[in-house]
Amino acid sequence: MSKFLHTKYSSLTPYDTSGEVESMKGYIRLNTNESPFPPSPLAVEYSHRASIGLNYYCDPECSQLAAKIAEMYSLKPSQIVFGNGSDEILNFLFMAFCEKGAAFPNITYSFYKILAKFHGVDCVTVPLKGFRVDPSYYRDMRGRTIFIANPNAPTSLAMSLSDIEAVITSNPASLVVVDEAYVDFGADSAVTLLPKYDSLVITRTFSKSRSLAGARLGWCMTSEELAADIRNIKNTLTPYNINAMTQAAGLGALEDEEYTRRNIDMIRRVRDNTRTRLQEMGFEVLDSSANFLFAKHGSISGEKIFSSLKKYKIMIRHFSNPPAIADYNRITIGTPEQMQMFLEVVKGITENETE
């Protein structure tokens, strides 16, 4: 820490990005929940074309993207705000709406806690019930903003729309944020609830089903009033937050829904097959609605599975904390070939360890 750093930043806990980029060359990356498939050719073509106009600033409102998404979900463009990844949207939400605090499950996307701490937001973590989010635990949140990832990460479990609605109706004084980063892989979107509730914000990303994690593009959908608040913060801090190439890539991806649909179908098929194979090898695997699995072996520790796979240059995600999940690993679904290789190595590990 330099002597010039503001003391309020002296004990930051940044998001752990270790091993996510360059050092992973040559590895099978099943650790960061990206798509194993390249972006749609249309996304690449549009983005390339947009690069020719990079001498000009980009559209701060992402008007074309907003129009397209509004049409897809029967909303008005003014109900949509874009972020540099949905992480940036989450940051805006913690800044904008958490004066009375925040609440989220005790096992969920780790960024919520990091953002709460950064913004000095008082947060309560709500226990899961058998790894599921139970709406009855979300009563009387006293105006705290509630963050729920659906499907949840790292558990991969989805919540029903009626359960989401129960959280909203039992907390009339709270804003409810539903983080739908993985919704395309099997959960029901709360977008149908938007006309009914003006206390609902839905966040989405192009990082998973649309293969654009490196482009950094996310968005939120909410009431016009809340969207105006979020936009105000965005335009104060980072008015040009989505660069022109990314806007163009996003548009290309949205215009190639067929490509996205095929990739989602493939990932779901490979996911379900991988789950069955892991169960046959003695793993307990939660019922995934996402592009990853959450699994623990009956007798081999999570750490052992993780480190043994790493020796074969296969990365999965191990969490040593909280202790309740230390025996689980989160496994991103890769291509059929990658998962075949993964399963063969896991088979070897389980046979060696249980001999």
Neighbours of 261 (CB within 10 A): 12
Residue among 62, 181, 202, 346 that touches ligand PMP (CB under 6 A): 181
Look up residue 138 and give its two tokens: 């979300």
**Look-up of token digits 């914000």:** 201
Site membership for ligand PMP, residue 34 (CB under 6 A): no
d(Cα 341, Cα 300) in Å, to the nearest integer?
Answer: 20
Give least dist CB 13 to ligand PMP, A. Answer: 16
Decide whether 242 or 314 has the Cβ nearer to ligand PMP.
Answer: 242
Give least dist CB 242 to ligand PMP, A. Answer: 12
Q: For 126, how many CA atoms within 13 A lie in the half-sphere containing its CB?
A: 21
**Distance, C-alpha 192 to centroid of its chain:** 20
**Look-up of token digits 């194979």:** 277
d(Cα 112, Cα 118) in Å, to the nearest integer?
Answer: 10
Residue among 207, 209, 223, 350 that touches ligand PMP (CB under 6 A): 207
Site membership for ligand PMP, residue 104 (CB under 6 A): no
Decide whether 102 or 149 has the Cβ nearer to ligand PMP.
Answer: 149
Decide whether 107 or 300 has the Cβ nearer to ligand PMP.
Answer: 107
Within 8 A by CB and 6+ apart from 21, the residues are none
Site membership for ligand PMP, residue 153 (CB under 6 A): yes
d(Cα 32, Cα 317) in Å, to the nearest integer?
Answer: 7
Residue among 218, 252, 302, 334 that touches ligand PMP (CB under 6 A): 218
Residue among 29, 66, 87, 141 that touches ligand PMP (CB under 6 A): 87
Site membership for ligand PMP, residue 105 (CB under 6 A): no
Give least dist CB 234 to ligand PMP, A. Answer: 15
Name the residue type at position 191.
V
d(Cα 22, Cα 274) in Å, to the nearest integer?
Answer: 27
Count of chain residues binding ligand PMP (CB under 6 A): 13
Q: Which stretch binds ligand PMP (CB under 6 A): 82-90, 122-130, 255-263, 292-300?
A: 82-90
Residue among 205, 209, 223, 289 that touches ligand PMP (CB under 6 A): 205
Burial of 299 (0-12, 13-18, 19+ CB in 10 A): exposed
Site membership for ligand PMP, residue 85 (CB under 6 A): yes
Decide whether 147 or 345 has the Cβ nearer to ligand PMP.
Answer: 147
Neighbours of 351 (CB within 10 A): 10
Residues contributing to the site for ligand PMP (CB under 6 A): 33, 85-87, 109, 149, 153, 179, 181, 205, 207, 213, 218
